[in-house]
Amino acid sequence: MVLKLDHIDKSYITPKLVVPVLHDVSLHVEEGEYVAIMGPSGSGKSTLMNIIGCLDRPTRGTYELNGENVLNKNDRDMASIRLNNLGFVFQNFQLLSRQSALDNVALPLVYAGVRKRERIRRAKAALTRVGLEQRIMFTPAQLSGGQKQRVAIARALVNNPRLLLADEPTGALDSKSSKALMELFEELNDEGVTIVMITHAPEIASYAKRVCNIFDGVLTERTDSDRTKIEAAGGGTFR
């Protein structure tokens, strides 16, 4: 089991008020799965992503990543868990604008203490895997949105993470680049990469093999009969 979240609550606690966001969220993900978490803006998707990504802690509940309890770790150990287990992809790419694609992709390997020659070798291989071998010396400004997101995916994969986490990965892309990106995710999943993707868009979620819905901080699994009902109601194009 890659992910095992049970009975997660999350409230943001500010001096003036407590904002409850996640309510009794449980999610189990096995190696090789491709899961989409779909919900409208404000439903708690990024809050859940930050917990899964070991960037924030729940108020209640348990969380095991690769069988290890991550909630009793200090911030420093959490950082090394992120580095060794997780690859992140965000809506706005989060690339360093003055660095080449190659240097952007190699950066996590600097933190992992990999030597320069090996960093370059692995970064080139990761860029080749996402179809950008012809663009390795380009800076983000010289790349399209879809290409920038591919660089971000290469960076997320360069350390061979157990899990690829994507928060609205197509949020800044046009529909053609979005489709190409979803085809890349399918390819990566076929190669064995475990993916948890967050989106508000049904047509994007429909690429995943398994879809969960989140609404007002409550997570529910979508069954095949739900799918049929939504399709029958014309509420999304599922393939």
Q: Where on the chain is the footprint of ligand ADP (CB under 6 A)?
A: 12, 19, 21, 39, 41-47
- What does the alpha-carbon distance between residue 124 and residue 49 come to, in Å, rounded to a whole number? 28
Q: Least CB distance from residue 165 to Mg ion, whole Å?
A: 13
Q: Least CB distance from residue 38 to Mg ion, whole Å?
A: 12
- What does the alpha-carbon distance between residue 158 and residue 145 come to, in Å, rounded to a whole number? 20
> Is 24 in contact with 7 (CB distance < 8 Å)?
yes
104 scored as a contact of Mg ion (CB under 5 A) = no
Where do the H-state alpha helices sit in the chain?
A: 45-52, 75-85, 101-111, 116-129, 145-157, 175-190, 202-205, 224-232
Q: Least CB distance from residue 207 to ligand ADP, whole Å?
A: 19
Residue 99 is encoded by which pair of tokens? 């660095």
Q: Least CB distance from residue 220 to Mg ion, whole Å?
A: 18
Residue nearest to Mg ion (CB): 46
Scan residues 28-47 and list those touching Mg ion (CB under 5 A).
45-46
- What does the alpha-carbon distance between residue 44 and residue 74 come to, in Å, rounded to a whole number? 24
Given the complex with ligand ADP, which of 39 and 87 has the nearer CB atom?
39
Given the complex with Mg ion, which of 45 and 124 has the nearer CB atom?
45
Given the complex with ligand ADP, which of 31 and 216 has the nearer CB atom?
216
Phi, psi angles (nearest 5°) of residue 122:
-70, -40
Given the complex with ligand ADP, which of 8 and 158 has the nearer CB atom?
8
Contacts of residue 177, defined as CB under 8 A and 6 or more positions apart, other chains included, come to: 144, 145, 146, 149, 170
Residue in the structure block whose two tokens are 């393939």: 239
Residue 104 binds which one of Mg ion, ligand ADP, none, with CB within 5 to 8 A depending on kind?
A: none
Q: Least CB distance from residue 221 to ligand ADP, whole Å?
A: 18
- Residues in contact with Mg ion by CB under 5 A are 45-46
